[in-house]
Structure 1
């Protein structure tokens, strides 16, 4: 079969893609994955019994601010990476800037704290399970995002997978925070970010193979 004949055959049943289909797929994946993560955390861990009391406190707001800010930037980055030729531009910084701000604030808290209090600020009481729990909460979000990306056209599969994993990790961290009793910034700067980074690394590995055309 000649090339022109093959192109004609492939184009014979082509139909226009609905407008905003890409946004719809990504929002559906992010929303559905977020709900699955919330269900997992609620069933496997349970939400904080005092969530109603702490929800509007500055400490809890700061705890949710980092993953939600990462989520906002990463969602745009994933959308752009799902389209051939689209550049990330400043959205790369938008994905990591909230973490840099958290690290700066955590460093300040660590430096100001009494030496005897620094160990508790870093390790808390749940450091053994925190990063793994964030990663587990990210898995359903990542699976849904990869479903969305498979229906689009990412030309840099490993990078798109890493961005999707980072987005899933941020979502998982925001959901896991509804259970986690820790409030120390140094704790979050290490263990929450570690879980998000593991999710991004897993996304890069899966994306390199699973998002190839």
Structure 2
């Protein structure tokens, strides 16, 4: 069978599902957010001074980074789960969140004395960050991997990695409400490592469980 014929067959199979793939992704993401919320509230919950923190730019900027990551990963994974769909534009938008973090880090380096850079980067709860972003994200990742099987991705490992980024962005959004380390240096380092761990796990899951 030619590649073009295989893609058409997979696309027809994806389109024959009881629920349209586009609607299924929205439903799955809502379910993933609910799972993440339950884990977040049952484990760590929001920081005690969150009402005060809401008036600070550093605290709010964390949500900009994580939500942009989740939104761009959502767009890309929907495209990847549909055979023959164009992924170039969605993939290009994936640079948005890293660029925003980079700009914030540069600004931080300008306004914070060099002697404080190391303290801001290490923070006070990096191990909590490294533990709870994956913990909050593992349930959503499982949902997204299952959704990839509902669709028909032709690049399962890549799709799984993007599922991990989506789960990581979602989990990091919840975790940011708890985190007392608001420095972009901290976010760029430890949030990224925790999210990358979910992306790696997603790539492995895609390779093992989302194959055709």
TM-score bin, normalised by smaller chain: 0.7 to 0.9
Q: Is the 8 A contact 2:46 2:178 kept in 1?
A: yes
The whole-number CA distance in structure 2 between the counterparts of 1:29 and 1:139 is 14
TM-score (norm. length: structure 2): 0.87
Equivalences, count: 199
How far 1:131 sits from its partner (Å)?
2.3
Q: Mean Cα displacement is larger for which, 195-204 or 96-105? A: 96-105
Q: Decide which structure has the larger Cα Rg and report it.
A: 1
Single out whichever of 17-26 and 88-97 deviates more from structure 2: 17-26
Q: CA–CA distance in 2 between the matches of 1:163 and 1:205? A: 11
Shift of 1:108: 3.2
Q: Give 1:203 shift.
A: 0.5
Give the equivalent residue in structure 1 for 2:117. Answer: 118
Cα distance in 2 for partners of 1:137, 1:96 equals 24
Under a length normalisation based on structure 1, what TM-score does the superposition of the two structures give? 0.86
Alpha-carbon RMSD: 1.9
Q: Which residue of the partner structure matches residue 76 of structure 2?
A: 77
Is there any run of 5+ residues in structure 1 with no aligned partner, and where? 1-13
- Is residue 170 of structure 1 aligned with residue 169 of structure 2? yes
| 2: CA distance, partners of 1:23 / 1:85 | 15
CA positional deviation for 1:182:
1.2
1:161 aligns with 2:194: no
Matches within 5 A, 1:1-213: 17=16, 21-213=20-212
SS at match of 1:90: helix
Q: Runs of 5+ in structure 2 lacking a partner?
A: 1-12
Q: Which whole-Å CA distance do the structure 1 matches of 2:67 and 2:192 have between them?
A: 13
User: Relative to structure 2, which stretch is displaced further, 72-81 or 103-112?
Assistant: 103-112
**Where does residue 7 of structure 2 map in the other structure?**
none
Deviates more, 1:108-117 or 1:168-177: 108-117
CA contact (8 A) 1:149 1:211 kept: yes
Divergent runs of 4+, >4 A: none
Kept in 2: contact 1:110–1:121 (CA 8 A): no
Query: In structure 2, the residue corresponding to 1:176 is in which secondary structure?
Result: helix
